[in-house]
Amino acid sequence: MSTKHQKLQQWVNEITDMCQPDAIHWCDGTQAEYDEMIRISINGKYATPLNEQKRPGCVNFNSDVTDVARVENRTYIAAKTKDAAGPTNNWIDPDELKKTMKNLYKGCMKGRTMYVIPFSMGPIGSKIAKIGIEITDSPYVVANMHIMTRVGTKVLEILGDDGEFVPCLHSVGKPLAEGENDGGKWPCAPLDKKYISHFPEERTIWSYGSGYGGNALLGKKCLALRIASVIARDEGWLAEHMLILKLTNPQGVVKYITAAFPSACGKTNLAMLVPTVPGWKVETIGDDIAWMKFGEDGRLYAINPEAGFFGVAPGTSDESNKMAMASITKNSIFTNVALTEDKDIWWEGIGYEPPGKLIDWTGNEWEMETATKPAAHPNARFTAPASQCPVIAPEWEDPKGVPISAILFGGRRPSTIPLVNQSRNWIHGVFMGSVAGSEITAAALDLKVGTVRRDPFAMLPFCGYHMGDYFKHWIGMEKKTDTDKLPKIFFVNWFRKTESGKWLWPGYGENSRVLKWVFERCTGEAEAVETPIGFMPTVDAIDRPEGVTAEDMKAMLSVDKDGWIKELHSIKEHYGKFGDHLPKELLEELAALEERLNKA
């Protein structure tokens, strides 16, 4: 296959000259092509087919021990100035970075096939969708892109002769000498040669050296968040790290809700939640990314630009996420999970003991009694088609998107932050998003246990420009429509603990009780009390799940004044990073909060 699109053809020629692959394959998105990628990987011995009876059409990949997760310290926003990238991004001068990377790319695909993947983020042909072309030398990437995005010939047709696309270049960074093969090992480059680079002014992505997840499947974090956040800023919409869910009450009334939580705070679980409140229903639109634009009626509409789930496997069980478990029974890719003797999957927190000896994610025998390390890598993943989720909403691919009534922010906050709290207005809601984050519970990075790692809007690793300007962009959305058409904003916290460390809230399906209150705030049915920090439910507005006492409920739904005074200090420190890019509206919100707390 080829294309009449000159710019695309020219780019492919340029990359071919630089990377010198043995062959070029234009991806058509067919099942035969997917099967061929899996066959190549199995032959290469870094993928194992799973038990056809138990898990038809499934395969497990074992990556290299140095290539198991997104590498944030090797991820760059190479804007023209450091100021444009802002204090939360790694910045390198784009010319310097290109020079370094061109040297790495030179001949990097020798001995390999170069795949050209035309893909659409969002339903093909939808006005909201964006087209990307990923060039990669990894069959693993091709197979995963088939599930996570819409790949194929149809995308090239839509692109036509001169349509716009985001060029996404990827190489595992492991050229092969004449006659050499990967020797059964997942190919990648050493850590100090890995680069996940974004050139926001050119809307271009260059990734080198990693074959894993968000480093390599460039439609997801790189295009749909980092580059899309820049496009959204320029075009007046929002590209967000948010799940999208559909909530239906017993009378059949529907509300759509988006929610931003930092990575590994249960977005996938909430997106597929099975409510414990009788008569209520949750259906899924997306579990990780939302693109939101104003519709003609002045409301904010969201689409899920992805076509699959790339979920963290450990901890996923019938109890924590029955619908995710049902989504991965077939046609799924697993990465770094453990395998049972009969070639089925297992991981820590899957909800049952291993049924005997296992092969762990590094390929070694593993027995529970003698194990010193986990059998599955803690960041082991499943890649599953969204269409296989039993509660996928029928309208999940509607090109118009779904109208959003409420936006939730959250994080893991064992103390201070209540179970749920509604913002006073849009700007106060933006304030809430800007201070979101999780408390450090185990020594991680260079942060002290007990301090809060701020992750504004859960976008810390994903915002493609200065975070202060991003806050400004959010504030500016208010002016684009009537106040009553904007979604209501809430802050939720499922992770409160007592001083002795006991969870106060059971979470999972019981979170539906909070969703019900949010829903009824949107319809005007639920009562709230005004407090210095926002609108909160009265103590009996949310039914108590089993095991939660009235005392517990009171602890989760009252304002901890001392805790909030400490919080103010920590927010001031956080805001200090953004210098004069911090919108004055947020400083005013902070001052107003302080004043309300002092008066209380």
- Name the closest residue to ligand OXD (Cβ): 263
Nearer to ligand OXD, 354 or 433 (CB): 433
Q: How far is the CB of 562 from ligand OXD (least distance, A)?
A: 33
Q: Which two tokens stand for residue 175?
A: 């050229």
Q: Which does 55 bind (CB under 5 to 8 A by kind): ligand OXD, Mn ion, none?
A: none
Compute how many residues bind ligand OXD; rule: CB under 6 A: 5
Question: What DSSP string runs through 3-70?
Answer: -S-HHHHHHHHHHHHHH--SEEEE----HHHHHHHHHHHHHTTSEEE--TTTSTT-EEE---TT-SS-
Q: How far is the CB of 263 from ligand OXD (least distance, A)?
A: 3
Helix axes 584-599, 561-576, angle to 10 degrees: 160
**Euclidean distance between CA atoms 493 and 409, whole angstroms:** 9
Q: How far is the CB of 237 from ligand OXD (least distance, A)?
A: 21
Q: Which residues pair with 339 in a beta bridge?
A: 345, 359
Residue 288 makes contact with ligand OXD by CB under 6 A: yes
Q: How far is the CB of 241 from Mn ion (least distance, A)?
A: 6
Residue 263 makes contact with ligand OXD by CB under 6 A: yes
Locus of tokens 């390599």? 216
Scanning 162-216, the segments in alpha helix (DSSP H) are 213-216
Nearer to Mn ion, 55 or 377 (CB): 377
**Euclidean distance between CA atoms 58 and 52, whole angstroms:** 8
Nearer to Mn ion, 288 or 585 (CB): 288
Q: Which does 174 bind (CB under 5 to 8 A by kind): ligand OXD, Mn ion, none?
A: none
Q: Which does 214 bind (CB under 5 to 8 A by kind): ligand OXD, Mn ion, none?
A: ligand OXD
**Euclidean distance between CA atoms 292 and 564, whole angstroms:** 32
Nearer to ligand OXD, 73 or 370 (CB): 73
Q: How far is the CB of 381 from ligand OXD (least distance, A)?
A: 8
Nearer to ligand OXD, 128 or 380 (CB): 380
Q: Which does 64 bind (CB under 5 to 8 A by kind): ligand OXD, Mn ion, none?
A: none
The residues near 546 (Cβ < 8 Å, ≥ 6 apart) are none
Residue 321 makes contact with ligand OXD by CB under 6 A: no
Nearer to ligand OXD, 288 or 585 (CB): 288
Q: Which does 197 bind (CB under 5 to 8 A by kind): ligand OXD, Mn ion, none?
A: none
CA 404 to chain centre: 19
Contacts with Mn ion by CB under 5 A lie at: 288
Question: What DSSP string runs through 294-344?
Answer: E-TTS-EEEE---SEEEEE-TT--HHHHHHHHHHTSSS-EEES-EEETTS-
Residue 214 makes contact with ligand OXD by CB under 6 A: yes
Q: How far is the CB of 224 from Mn ion (least distance, A)?
A: 10
CB 457 within 8 A of CB 240: yes
Nearer to Mn ion, 137 or 288 (CB): 288
Choosing from 19, 27, 58, 265, which is the catalytic residue? 265
How does 237-261 read in b/e, with b if 16+ C-beta sit within 10 Å?
bbbbbbbbbbbbbeeeebbbbbbbb
Catalytic status, residue 222:
no
Q: Half-sphere exposure of 527 toward its Cβ, with a 13 Å CA cutoff? A: 6
**Euclidean distance between CA atoms 287 and 295, whole angstroms:** 22
Q: Which two tokens stand for residue 463?
A: 């915002």
Query: What length is written for the chain?
Result: 600
Closest CA to 303 of 124, 100, 64, 516: 124
Q: How far is the CB of 279 from ligand OXD (least distance, A)?
A: 31
Residue 286 makes contact with ligand OXD by CB under 6 A: no
The helix (run of H) or strand (run of E) holding residue 285 is strand 281-286
Going residue by residue from 46 to 85, which x/- string records binding to ligand OXD, judged by CB under 6 A? Answer: ------------------------x---------------
CA 290 to chain centre: 9
Q: How far is the CB of 65 from Mn ion (least distance, A)?
A: 23
Nearer to ligand OXD, 220 or 428 (CB): 220
CB 303 within 8 A of CB 128: yes
Residue 335 makes contact with ligand OXD by CB under 6 A: no
In one-letter notation, the amino acid at residue 165 is F
Interface residue list for ligand OXD (CB under 6 A): 70, 214, 263, 288, 310
Question: Catalytic residue numbers?
Answer: 265
